[in-house]
């Protein structure tokens, strides 16, 4: 039995019904002063990269604040979890998973989702058409090696001449 519903319209017909896309001005949003220190550090790390890709606009300030805050939460929860351990004793005395693990997992999910929206994952950058290129690295000086005749050295050792 086939799929239900009407046949899909061809792309050309759907494309003609879409409104014209506007333009967004690329620019750096202002960093709020109320961010935690770790969130500010992430802001300073991520914003130049997003600017360089040409995908960051001033409208993205809200999502960028949420991403940096979620990152700071994840770092804090991860350090607390490493100090207290993955298992803790529950109310009945049995070992249970640390509740911080669930909080860290939620923060990690938020960081991943928001990072994907901002173009911070390889997949999202490819979908956005961002070109990846190797950084210009200075050439390393050529290593000079002294040519040796390993076979001649081996013969000398075997014959006891050396």
Instruction: Tell me whether residue 146 is in a domain.
Output: no
Instruction: Tell me whether residue 47 is in a domain.
Output: yes
Instruction: Tell me whether residue 98 is in a domain.
Output: yes
Mean pLDDT by 10 residues, the chain (162 residues): 67 61 79 95 93 87 95 94 86 87 94 92 81 73 60 72 54
Instruction: Tell me whether residue 95 is in a domain.
Output: yes
Residue 10 pLDDT = 66
Instruction: Tell me whether residue 159 is in a domain.
Output: no
- How far is it, in rounded angstroms, from Cα 80 to Cα 159? 66
Strand ranges (E), 17-100: 87-89, 95-97
Bridge partners for 89 per DSSP:
95
Instruction: Tell me whether residue 113 is in a domain.
Output: yes
Residue 106: domain span: 24-130
Domains: count for the chain: 1
Instruction: Supply φ then ψ for residue 88, to 5 degrees.
Output: -135, 160
Instruction: Tell me whether residue 135 is in a domain.
Output: no
Q: What is the pLDDT of residues 94-135, one digit of tens each?
A: 888 888 999 999 999 999 999 999 988 888 888 877 777 777
Give the dihedral of Cα atoms 116, 58, 39, 41; nearest 10 deg. 100
- How far is it, in rounded angstroms, from Cα 12 to Cα 107? 41
- How far is it, in rounded angstroms, from Cα 108 to Cα 101? 10
Instruction: Tell me whether residue 77 is in a domain.
Output: yes
- Helix 99-118 vs helix 61-84: angle between axes, to the nearest 10 degrees? 150
């Amino acid at each position: 039995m086939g799929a239900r519903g009407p046949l899909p319209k061809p792309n050309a017909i759907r494309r003609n019904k879409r409104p014209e896309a506007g333009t967004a001005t690329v620019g750096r949003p202002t960093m709020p002063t109320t961010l935690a220190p770790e969130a500010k550090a992430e802001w300073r790390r991520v914003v130049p990269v997003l600017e360089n890709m040409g995908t960051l606009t001033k409208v993205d300030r809200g999502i960028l604040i949420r991403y940096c805050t979620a990152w700071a939460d994840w770092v804090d929860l991860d350090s607390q979890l490493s100090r207290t351990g993955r298992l803790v004793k529950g109310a009945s005395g049995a070992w249970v998973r640390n509740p911080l693990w669930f909080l860290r997992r939620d923060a990690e999910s938020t960081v991943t989702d928001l990072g994907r929206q901002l173009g911070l994952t390889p997949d999202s950058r490819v979908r956005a058409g961002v070109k990846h290129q190797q950084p210009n690295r200075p050439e390393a000086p050529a290593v000079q090696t002294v040519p040796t005749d390993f076979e001649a050295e081996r013969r000398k050792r075997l014959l006891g001449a050396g």
